[in-house]
């Protein structure tokens, strides 16, 4: 391509259309190479578009060229609601524009564009303004697309369909019309478009309002351009098969370091290397008990050491479901050489320490730091501000990552985290495709997977036997089950399955109520008593109870004790077994005491719990688990099985007793198809548990009469 010295000497055509020309190569680049000013007003603008402009933009910058950009932020439903509610319009628009900018930063091809944009911002060679429609009570998007290139003498104006985005410039089918000021046929239009832009810039256009945005955007762009420029390339990361670094760094400043006494298993090394091969993004789908925590910290250690060699500090933020898991993770982090900031409960206990840590990392006083928080604290404004204000290298680790796919949390995932790692035995969200997709979009695809079967074969988890115990619904429970199932079917049919499955949604509440009918089936308690009596002398037993109260107690307005209270009374008073409760109401000190006594086996034979033992609590000493709570959600029963399969000294096998609800024999209250659906859900769990158990044949024999009765041999 010939390089010219002025706009007038450049051979511009009257138009450019995707089927007969390349808009970037044939128009943008030649214009940039000879211009001193570039004005652009568009609906959307992203940094990845600047990467396409390559050397032309570099030449433009070196000549002292100045860009003026007017764009319209995308207003989400909440933004419109806030404006209608009387929030400051400028504040809402800036928030929307900053959100757009942060999303643009995450584009895979944004790196080079951000670097160029960052340099222009730093040199004062780019200015931004926001445009929006303001007419009466109406607020809308500015959607026009015009641009003007200028040199010392002439100008070239253009208008057309292309946005200032990568897809707008090369991915979509676009066209623009071009008008040259020195051509008598174009001069009037060229000058009119130029004047239109100037009127926009000076906020003189009817129906529109234009606001300054340079200062608000400057901070994010400069931080992001530094962070993206410093993001390691694939060549910087450990190669496949390379050993993990367990040596102490020579730098006196502490970084995360794999302890020398830790045996990192081969599969954990593979997981780390797979994550690095994906440039520090992805999820580990690892069975409960296979060491997700230590694998994640091994990955963080490798990253920390690699960045330290480049004199870059790393902040690792770890989010977990519960407070006791913060403490558990903090203990593990301490083994890797770092004292973590524990961010939960009162903000005053951790906010200043976390801010001081961030300042220390920014100033180079510290080479690495770790903040561990709960899902609840993570979603709050104080912690979000802390995260969003950090401009350095950030690793974001989510334990039980499926929780962060919830609608209230997935919008809060930090876009400034260059490195992301999600951990979960079951990353897919139950009946929530949108939440599952949001997690994949944020963390990336599965980088490593190890199921329970493979973990047992490798010796990472112990073998187990599985004993299903069949219990019947009584007639009253069966009738309520049919009623609730009918309501669920009608609601799903009327809303075509689009009703959100949050706990507070109508469909979510009905599904929870139906599961509670099975979980609280009254026949379970006498059956449990028999099973406990058989193992009365054994220690290290876990009993999982259903949450809340029996649904019939609400229907009949009866003050019935919870299942957990009834189990505590039965085991303690009737069977004289030393037991303790472990629930969300159990204080932190009491929880630690319960787990210590349970592990020691001294004076405590069983823990009775609900959901609190589902996610992450480390109880490897557990040898027997009773599953009273019936859930068709794979996450719950997979986690509960994993709790009791962890390896421990003098433990080579575990035992699982599962209480399976079946329809009453000869019942007339249940419709046959409803019976089949109920059993199909229960048997799916049984099949999952049985096929890896040592005694699979026993389970299949036990269930054969039921399968015959309901024609469920296809299940």
Domain assignment present for 149: yes
Confidence of residue 248 (pLDDT cuts 50, 70, 90): very low
For residues 252 and 202, membership in a common domain is answered with: no
- 529 exposed, middle or buried (CB, 10 Å; 0-12, 13-18, 19+)? middle
Contacts of 252 (CB under 8 A, 6+ apart): none
Residues 251 and 308: beta-carbon distance below 8 Å? yes
DSSP string for 161-225:
S--BSHIIIIIS--EEEEEETTSTTTHHHHHHHHHHHHHHHTT--TTEEEEE-HHHHHHHHHHHH
Confidence of residue 427 (pLDDT cuts 50, 70, 90): low
Q: Which of 43-52, 456-465, 584-593 has the highest mean pLDDT?
A: 456-465
Give the residue from 69, 18, 5 showing the smallest Cα distance to 42: 69
Overall average pLDDT of the 452-481 stretch: 88
Q: What pLDDT is recorded for position 340?
A: 93
25-39, 151-165, 229-243, 270-284: least confidently modelled range: 229-243
Q: What pLDDT is recorded for position 131?
A: 81
Rounded CA separation 615/403 (Å): 10
Q: What pLDDT is recorded for position 320?
A: 94
Tens-place pLDDT, residues 31-43: 888 899 999 887 6
Q: What pLDDT is recorded for position 432?
A: 59
Q: What pLDDT is recorded for position 156?
A: 97
Q: Which of 297-301, 457-461, 648-652 has the highest mean pLDDT?
A: 297-301
Rounded CA separation 257/486 (Å): 56
Give the residue from 332, 44, 310 showing the smallest Cα distance to 169: 44
Confidence of residue 371 (pLDDT cuts 50, 70, 90): very high
How many C-alpha atoms does 69 have within 13 Å on its Cβ side? 25
Domain assignment present for 9: no
For residues 415 and 563, membership in a common domain is answered with: no
Per the model's pLDDT, the better-predicted residue between 604 and 365 turns out to be 604
281-290, 356-365, 432-441, 575-584: least confidently modelled range: 432-441
For residues 466 and 423, membership in a common domain is answered with: no
Q: What pLDDT is recorded for position 47?
A: 44
Domain assignment present for 600: yes
Strand order in the sheet with 281-286: 341-343, 368-374, 314-320, 393-399, 419-424, 281-286, 446-450
How many C-alpha atoms does 212 have within 13 Å on its Cβ side? 5
For residues 425 and 407, membership in a common domain is answered with: yes
Q: What is the CATH number of the domain that holds 112?
A: 3.30.870.10
Length of the chain: 715
Residue where a domain stops, chosen among 407, 427, 457: 457
For residues 20 and 44, membership in a common domain is answered with: yes
Q: What pLDDT is recorded for position 108?
A: 42
For residues 37 and 156, membership in a common domain is answered with: yes
Q: Measured between alpha carbons, how far is residue 308 from residues 152, 155, 250, 257, 261 in Å? A: 48, 50, 10, 11, 22
Domain assignment present for 489: no
Confidence of residue 349 (pLDDT cuts 50, 70, 90): confident
Residue 124 has pLDDT above 90, yes or no: no
Domain assignment present for 513: no
Residue where a domain stops, chosen among 188, 203, 229: 229
Confidence of residue 187 (pLDDT cuts 50, 70, 90): very high
Q: What pLDDT is recorded for position 52?
A: 39
Q: What pLDDT is recorded for position 198?
A: 95
Q: What pLDDT is recorded for position 689?
A: 84
Q: Which of 318-332, 447-461, 520-534, 667-681 has the highest mean pLDDT?
A: 520-534
Helices (H), 570-715: 588-600, 634-644, 672-690, 696-710
Confidence of residue 117 (pLDDT cuts 50, 70, 90): low
Q: What pLDDT is recorded for position 4?
A: 60
Residue 215 has pLDDT above 80, yes or no: no
Residue 458 Cα to chain centre, angstroms: 29
Mean pLDDT of the chain: 79
Overall average pLDDT of the 257-264 stretch: 84
Overall average pLDDT of the 555-584 stretch: 87
Q: Which of 3-12, 48-57, 58-67, 349-358 has the highest mean pLDDT?
A: 349-358
For residues 281 and 209, membership in a common domain is answered with: no
For the beta carbon of residue 426, count every other beta carbon within 10 angstroms: 19
Overall average pLDDT of the 559-579 stretch: 91
Overall average pLDDT of the 382-393 stretch: 90
Q: What pLDDT is recorded for position 616?
A: 53
Residue where a domain stops, chosen among 405, 423, 457: 457
Confidence of residue 393 (pLDDT cuts 50, 70, 90): very high
Residue 513 has pLDDT above 70, yes or no: yes
Overall average pLDDT of the 509-517 stretch: 83
For residues 119 and 163, membership in a common domain is answered with: yes
Q: What is the CATH number of the domain that holds 301?
A: 3.40.50.300
Q: What pLDDT is recorded for position 119?
A: 65
Share of the chain above pLDDT 70, in %: 75
Residue 8 has pLDDT above 80, yes or no: yes
Domain assignment present for 116: yes
Overall average pLDDT of the 625-653 stretch: 75
Domain assignment present for 88: yes
For residues 241 and 224, membership in a common domain is answered with: no
Which secondary structure element, helix H or strand E, spans residue 658, and what is its range? strand 653-662
Tens-place pLDDT, residues 83-99: 656 556 667 766 776 66
Per the model's pLDDT, the better-predicted residue between 138 and 70 turns out to be 70
Rounded CA separation 249/709 (Å): 67
Task: State the total domains in the chain.
Answer: 3
Q: What pLDDT is recorded for position 137?
A: 58
Confidence of residue 567 (pLDDT cuts 50, 70, 90): very high
Q: What pLDDT is recorded for position 154?
A: 95
Q: What pLDDT is recorded for position 364?
A: 76
Overall average pLDDT of the 274-295 stretch: 88
Domain assignment present for 493: no
Structural domain boundaries, residue 542: 462-472+522-710
For residues 282 and 149, membership in a common domain is answered with: no
Tens-place pLDDT, residues 227-245: 444 444 333 444 444 455 5
Tens-place pLDDT, residues 540-556: 999 999 888 888 887 77
For residues 40 and 175, membership in a common domain is answered with: yes
For residues 421 and 540, membership in a common domain is answered with: no
């Amino acid at each position: 391509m010939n390089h010219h010295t002025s706009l007038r000497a450049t051979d511009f055509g009257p138009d450019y259309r995707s089927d007969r020309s390349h808009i970037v190569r044939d128009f943008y680049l030649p214009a940039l190479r000879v211009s001193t000013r570039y004005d652009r007003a568009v609906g959307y603008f992203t940094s990845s578009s600047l990467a396409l402009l390559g050397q032309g933009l570099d030449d433009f910058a070196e000549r002292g060229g100045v860009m003026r950009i007017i764009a319209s932020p995308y207003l989400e439903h909440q933004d419109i609601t806030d404006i209608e509610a009387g929030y400051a319009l400028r504040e809402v628009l800036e928030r929307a524009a900053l959100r757009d900018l942060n999303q643009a930063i995450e584009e895979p091809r944004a790196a080079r564009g951000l670097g160029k944009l960052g340099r222009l911002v730093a040199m004062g060679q780019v200015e931004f303004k926001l445009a929006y429609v303001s007419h009466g009570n109406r607020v809308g998007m500015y959607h026009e697309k015009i641009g003007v290139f200028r040199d010392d003498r002439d100008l070239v104006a253009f208008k057309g369909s292309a946005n200032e985005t990568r897809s707008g410039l090369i991915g979509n089918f676009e066209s623009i019309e071009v008008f040259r000021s020195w051509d008598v046929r174009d001069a009037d239009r060229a000058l009119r478009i130029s004047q239109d832009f100037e009127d926009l810039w000076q906020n003189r256009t009817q129906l529109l309002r234009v606001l300054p945005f340079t200062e608000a955007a400057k901070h994010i762009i400069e931080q992001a351009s530094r962070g993206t420029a410093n993001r390691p390339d694939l060549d910087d990361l450990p190669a496949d098969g390379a050993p993990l670094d367990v040596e102490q760094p020579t730098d006196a400043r502490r970084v995360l370091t794999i302890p020398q006494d830790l045996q990192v298993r081969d599969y954990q090394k593979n997981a780390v290397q797979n994550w690095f091969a994906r440039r520090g993004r992805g999820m580990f789908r690892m069975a409960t008990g296979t060491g997700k925590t230590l694998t994640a910290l091994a990955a963080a250690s490798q990253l920390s050491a690699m960045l330290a060699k480049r004199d870059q500090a790393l902040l690792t933020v770890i989010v977990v479901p519960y407070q006791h898991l913060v403490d558990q993770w903090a203990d593990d982090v301490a083994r890797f050489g770092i004292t973590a900031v524990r961010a939960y409960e009162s903000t005053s206990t951790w906010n200043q320490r976390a801010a001081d840590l961030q300042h220390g990392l920014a100033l180079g006083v510290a080479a690495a730091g770790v903040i561990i928080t709960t899902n609840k604290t993570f979603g709050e404004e104080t912690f979000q501000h802390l995260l969003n204000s950090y401009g350095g290298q950030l690793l974001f680790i989510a334990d039980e990552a499926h929780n962060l796919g919830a609608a209230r949390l997935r919008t809060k995932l930090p876009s400034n985290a260059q490195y992301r790692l999600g951990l979960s035995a079951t990353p897919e969200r139950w009946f929530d495709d949108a939440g599952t997709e949001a997690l994949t979009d944020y963390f990336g695809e599965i980088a490593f997977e190890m199921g329970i079967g493979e973990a047992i074969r490798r010796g990472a988890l112990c073998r187990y036997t599985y004993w299903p115990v069949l219990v019947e619904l009584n007639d009253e429970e069966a009738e309520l089950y049919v009623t609730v199932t009918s309501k669920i079917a009608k609601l799903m049919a009327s809303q075509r399955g689009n009703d959100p499955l949050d706990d507070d949604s109508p469909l979510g509440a009905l599904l929870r109520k139906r599961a509670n009918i099975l979980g609280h089936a009254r026949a379970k308690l006498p059956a449990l008593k028999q099973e406990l009596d058989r193992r009365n002398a054994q220690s290290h037993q876990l009993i999982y109870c259903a949450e809340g109260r029996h649904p019939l107690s609400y229907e009949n307005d009866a003050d019935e004790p919870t299942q957990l209270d009834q189990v505590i009374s039965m085991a303690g008073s009737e069977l004289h077994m030393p037991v303790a409760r472990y629930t969300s109401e159990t204080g932190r000190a009491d929880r630690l005491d319960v787990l210590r006594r349970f592990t020691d086996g001294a004076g405590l034979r069983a823990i009775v719990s609900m959901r609190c033992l589902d996610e992450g609590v480390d109880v490897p000493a557990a040898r027997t688990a009773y599953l009273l709570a019936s859930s068709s959600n794979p996450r719950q029963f997979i986690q509960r099985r994993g709790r009791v399969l962890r390896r421990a000294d003098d433990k080579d096998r575990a035992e699982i007793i599962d209480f399976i609800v079946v329809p009453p024999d000869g019942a007339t209250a249940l419709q046959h198809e409803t019976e089949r659906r109920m059993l199909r859900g229960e048997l799916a769990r049984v099949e999952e548990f049985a096929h890896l158990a040592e005694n699979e044949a026993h389970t299949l024999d036990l269930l054969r009469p039921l399968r015959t009765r309901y024609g469920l041999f296809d299940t």
